[in-house]
């Protein structure tokens, strides 16, 4: 007898995980609390509801999320199949008919002979048997407490309300920046982006007047009380930032030997040093405004933002400490997590985590070796980012080329380099699935 897997949550990740398991002959119980109980973010009774945008973002291969979608297509993702079938015109992006897409996913899952769907809330992690928890960023308080207890204490669950933007190292103009730590203490751990008085004046003026994003109904306005957005700080006075996150004291510019007028500091966000965090730049500005205003920092005039600053209610695991790259709980591998609860950010990324968790769970149950997608692939890079114990300030992440293994050869031009990364990744995926006798056909 093959173990039956409980999948909690019928969002993108949960539906994908259930599908991958069932297509490999592993029976599934998919438990979803809708419509018996709805979160403030949801309005439809259907599975895989897209609660924000109807866009799955770029479909171009020089974009990391475009690569990720192509990997998912190759690995026979249900979510991508339904998205492609319900595509609407959106230029180079994959956007879908929201209702048609959700209905299609729901119909496919409910009609699968090996998937039993039930309505109900998961309130605890079952003491026995394989399980995948994919209950999303608005996981109920009851289940949150159960997850917290499972991992041994409150410190293992984060409730993040603010995250600063992340930029790639290669897009920082290092002719206008320098490595240093304040007062020379420790190593030169920060990239410092100096600003003259004139540059700061323009930046401060535009930041103070920039447009903020709307607060959605399912977000808690109180999150702003404990963590002040950088734009709010700017509005409190001309020099507030210069006495706060842009404090220049103790950071002399090696070109002049003097402290600049203001300094934006960037902190390394991963062990490879390919991604940096804008220190103190938690923000609620719209994404276009973040691009516009933060590019006024001289060293960041051409910065590639791989994750925008956000401020909203969210629940996610401290995954680098708790999960491995197969989305298994390190302390008890029969329990897996998938979706935004693991710290992946975005529709496609959630889908990828569900697919990987489902495939790896099926292979474990069928007593087969793990698939173990490498960091050279977008799917594997996401799994290895959320399980990377060297990431000390873990926050949710969209897929990006910065978390993937670099090319061995040098390729000129950003587009050409990204296309080379994509070609390499797809070759690996094709090789992996060609040797995967469990890979299902539609």
CA-to-CA distance for 245 and 233, rounded, in angstroms?
10
Q: Check residue 43 and give its pLDDT.
A: 67
Residues sharing a CB contact under 8 Å with residue 303, sequence separation 6 or more, in sequence order: 167, 168, 171, 172, 294, 295, 297
Confidence check: pLDDT of 437 > 70: no
Q: Check residue 154 and give its pLDDT.
A: 53
Are the C-beta atoms of 18 and 79 separated by less than 8 Å?
A: no
User: What's the first-to-final CA gap in the chain, in angstroms?
Assistant: 24
Q: Check residue 161 and give its pLDDT.
A: 57
Going by the annotation, the residues of the binding site for FAD are: 9-14
CA-to-CA distance for 341 and 140, rounded, in angstroms?
12
DSSP letter string over 31-97?
A: EE-TTTS--TT---SSSS---S-SEEEE--TTSHHHHHHHHHHHTT-HHHHHHHHTEE--TTEEEE-
Percent of the chain with pLDDT over 70: 90
The closest alpha carbon to 308, from 323, 322, 319, 292, belongs to: 292
Confidence check: pLDDT of 439 > 90: no
Neighbours of 87 (CB within 10 A): 16
Confidence check: pLDDT of 173 > 90: yes
Structure tokens at 291: 């691009």
- Read off φ and ψ for residue 384, nearest 5 degrees: -80, -25
pLDDT in tens, 43-53: 678 999 987 66
Please list the helix, strand and coil fractions of the chain in percent, rounded to the nearest 5, in that order: 35, 15, 45
Confidence check: pLDDT of 159 > 90: no
Confidence check: pLDDT of 257 > 50: yes
181 torsion bin: left (phi>0), alpha (psi -120 to 50), beta (else): beta
Average pLDDT over residues 371-375: 96
pLDDT in tens, 305-342: 988 887 766 788 999 999 999 999 999 999 999 999 99
264-268, 272-276, 360-364, 415-419: range with lowest mean pLDDT? 272-276
User: What is the CA 73 to chain-centroid distance, rounded?
Assistant: 19
Structure tokens at 431: 């090789």
240 band by pLDDT with thresholds 50, 70 and 90: very high
Residues sharing a CB contact under 8 Å with residue 245, sequence separation 6 or more, in sequence order: 230, 233, 264, 265, 279, 280, 281
CA-to-CA distance for 64 and 414, rounded, in angstroms?
12
Mean of all residue pLDDT scores within the chain: 89
217 band by pLDDT with thresholds 50, 70 and 90: very low
CA-to-CA distance for 406 and 419, rounded, in angstroms?
12
Structural domains of the chain, ranges and CATH numbers in brackets: 5-160+314-434 (3.50.50.60), 166-307 (2.40.30)
Q: Check residue 286 and give its pLDDT.
A: 93
Are the C-beta atoms of 383 and 389 separated by less than 8 Å?
A: no
pLDDT in tens, 112-150: 999 999 999 999 999 999 999 999 888 888 998 999 999
Is the pLDDT higher at 28 or at 307?
28
41 band by pLDDT with thresholds 50, 70 and 90: low
Going by the annotation, the residues of the binding site are: 9-14
């Amino acid at each position: 007898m093959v173990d039956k897997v409980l999948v909690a949550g019928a969002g993108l990740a949960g539906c994908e995980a259930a599908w991958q398991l069932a297509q490999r002959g592993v029976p599934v119980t998919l438990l979803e609390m809708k419509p018996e109980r709805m979160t403030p973010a949801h309005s439809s009774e259907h599975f895989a509801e897209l609660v924000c945008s109807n866009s799955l973002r770029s479909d171009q291969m020089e974009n990391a999320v475009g690569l990720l979608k192509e990997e998912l297509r190759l690995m026979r993702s249900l979510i991508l199949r339904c998205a492609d079938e319900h595509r609407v015109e959106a230029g180079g992006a994959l956007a879908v008919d929201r209702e048609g897409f959700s209905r299609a996913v729901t119909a496919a899952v409910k009609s699968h002979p090996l998937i039993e769907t039930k309505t109900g809330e998961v309130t605890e992690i079952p003491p026995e048997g394989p399980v995948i928890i994919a209950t999303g960023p608005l996981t109920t308080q009851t289940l949150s407490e159960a997850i917290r207890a499972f991992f041994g204490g409150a410190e293992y669950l984060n409730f993040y309300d603010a995250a600063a933007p992340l930029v790639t190292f290669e897009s920082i103009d290092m002719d206008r920046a320098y490595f240093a730590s304040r007062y020379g203490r420790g190593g030169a751990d920060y990239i410092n982006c100096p600003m003259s008085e004139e540059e700061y004046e323009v930046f401060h003026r535009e930041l103070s007047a920039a447009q903020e994003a709307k607060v959605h109904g399912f977000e808690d306005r109180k999150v702003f009380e404990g963590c002040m957005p950088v734009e709010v700080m700017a509005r409190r006075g001309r020099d507030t930032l210069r006495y706060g996150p842009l404090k220049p004291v103790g950071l002399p510019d090696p070109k002049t030997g003097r402290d600049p007028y203001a300094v934006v500091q960037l902190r390394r966000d991963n062990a490879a040093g390919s991604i940096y965090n804008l220190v103190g730049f938690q923000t609620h500005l719209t994404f276009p405004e973040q691009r516009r205003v933060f590019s006024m920092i001289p060293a960041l005039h051409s910065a590639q933002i791989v994750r925008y600053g956000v401020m909203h209610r969210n629940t996610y695991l401290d995954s680098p400490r708790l999960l491995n790259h197969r989305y298994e709980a390190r302390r008890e591998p029969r329990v897996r997590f998938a979706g935004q609860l693991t710290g992946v950010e975005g529709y496609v990324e959630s889908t990828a985590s569900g697919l990987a968790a489902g495939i790896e769970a099926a292979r474990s149950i069928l007593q087969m070796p793990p698939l173990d997608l490498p960091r050279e692939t977008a799917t594997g890079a996401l799994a290895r980012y959320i399980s990377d114990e060297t990431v000390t300030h873990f926050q949710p992440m969209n897929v990006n080329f910065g978390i993937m293994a670099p090319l061995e050869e040098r390729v000129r031009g950003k587009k050409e380099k990204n296309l080379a990364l994509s070609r390499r990744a797809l070759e690996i995926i094709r090789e992996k699935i060609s040797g995967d006798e469990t890979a299902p056909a539609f």
